[in-house]
């Protein structure tokens, strides 16, 4: 299976802007728990789109171009279709 090409710089900026805006508005700059982060990262590391060498070996998604930092944002979700992990809503 051939993977789609990584997004260009403009689309990476759009993806980042959307994630940060949602983090501010929806999440009030909170972050997921360490356990939730670990579960998301475990899923990403096993994904064929994951690039462990991205962003100075922090890791990057080959689907949306985001760094591992996106995994801390509660309202963020995996860009794959269907998503491999979804937003975390507070109850």
Residue with tokens 């909170």: 30
> Can you tell me the distance from the alpha carbon of 57 to that of 68, in angstroms, rounded to the nearest whole number?
10
The 10s digit of each residue's pLDDT in 29-68 is 999 999 999 999 999 999 999 999 999 999 999 999 889 9
> Taking the model in full, what pTM does it have?
0.86
> Can you tell me the distance from the alpha carbon of 58 to that of 70, in angstroms, rounded to the nearest whole number?
11
The 10s digit of each residue's pLDDT in 67-76 is 999 999 999 9
When pLDDT is cut at 50, 70 and 90, the band that residue 1 belongs to is low
Positive/negative CA dihedral, 86, 79, 9, 42: positive
Question: What residue segments make up the domains of the chain, in order of their start?
Answer: 9-72
């Amino acid at each position: 299976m051939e993977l789609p090409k990584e997004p260009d710089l403009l689309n990476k900026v759009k993806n980042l802007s959307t994630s940060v805006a949602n983090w501010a508005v929806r999440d009030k700059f909170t972050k997921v728990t360490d356990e939730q982060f670990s579960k998301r990262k475990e899923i990403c590391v096993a994904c064929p789109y994951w690039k462990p060498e991205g962003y100075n070996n922090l890791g990057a998604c080959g689907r949306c171009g985001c760094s591992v930092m996106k995994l801390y944002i509660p309202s963020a979700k995996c860009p794959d279709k269907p998503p491999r992990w979804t937003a975390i809503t507070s109850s």
